[in-house]
Amino acid sequence: MKKYLYLSLLPEALIASNLSPEDFGSYYATGVFRRNCDKAIFFALDPTFKSDYLPVSRFEELCSPHPDGSPHKSVYLSVYRVLEHVPMSAIGNLYVVTSDGKTLELISKPFSPDPTAHMYLYQDLAPCRPRVASILNPQEYTSRITSPDRLVNVAKIAFCDLKLGALETDPLHGELGDLPYINEHHLRDCLMQVKSKGGKNNKVVARSMQDLNYRTLKNGFYVGAGDEMLYYPMPSKEELQTKFYNWSRSAGID
């Protein structure tokens, strides 16, 4: 029976499983009896990577099928400082799962900054989970947040960027439209602060993780440290509704 190693971002955890990514995503989101209802986001990892911190040496032992031959659905190997200790070279495809268990596979591609974008809204996923307004593009944001020269930094970060609609160009008067963000006036204030001359590069909009509505995703997901970053672009709305209709419908992308 095949063995897989996953890095979950919601919550951050290292998990071994005999389930394929699609089956694991369905199980992780809904549970054995499909009575749970929770989004999941996770990376597939190279199970052969070495670590002095994470117990990957026990992967083969702990991920063996049960005595009756049934698969191990999830075996937690670690729930603390996991992303930090997984090498970038071991990170594979990303899987984004809806609350009813539909799984979308994303493949990393080279990142090129959009020269027309000057304002961003990021949702950090691991190791911390604030929502952040920024004037830094994803590569700049990654480099800054993980810089050891900063008083407050993290070793590695995973995050996604969110749509701002008209607020991207006019945070004071632009229409939020149907974007379901709470505390709209505070969001505008944060965007204005990072946009203003002499303002901060980043401003925390929310200190803790808010509900991640998949229809608010803008370009995709990112993970990196320093100048090294992997970018996982979301398919276009048209692709989602044609090639990935079941996932799109479950995610509420009309």
Would you give the distance in Å from CA 112 to the centre of its chain? 19
- Asked if residue 201 has pLDDT above 70, the reply is yes
Question: CA-to-CA distance for 150 and 136, rounded, in angstroms?
Answer: 16
- Residues in contact with 230: Cβ distance below 8 Å, sequence separation at least 6, in sequence order: 88, 91, 108, 222, 223, 224
| pLDDT grade for 33, boundaries at 50, 70 and 90 | low
Which residue spans within the chain are E strands per DSSP? 4-9, 12-17, 40-45, 75-78, 91-97, 103-106, 120-126, 131-134, 157-162, 202-206, 217-225, 228-233
**SS3 state of residue 131:** strand
Residue-wise burial string across 87-113, b where 16 or more C-beta atoms lie within 10 A, e elsewhere: eeebbbebbbbbbbbbbbebebeebee
Average pLDDT over residues 212-231: 96
Local structure of residue 254 (DSSP, 8 states)? -
User: Which amino acid, 139?
Assistant: Q
Residues 150-177: pLDDT tens digits?
A: 998 999 999 999 999 999 999 999 998 8
- Residues in contact with 106: Cβ distance below 8 Å, sequence separation at least 6, in sequence order: 93, 94, 95, 96, 220, 221, 232, 233, 234
Mean pLDDT rounded to a whole number for the chain: 93
pTM, full prediction: 0.94
| Euclidean distance between the first and the last CA atom of the chain, given in angstroms as a whole number | 39
- Residues in contact with 23: Cβ distance below 8 Å, sequence separation at least 6, in sequence order: none
Average pLDDT over residues 54-81: 90
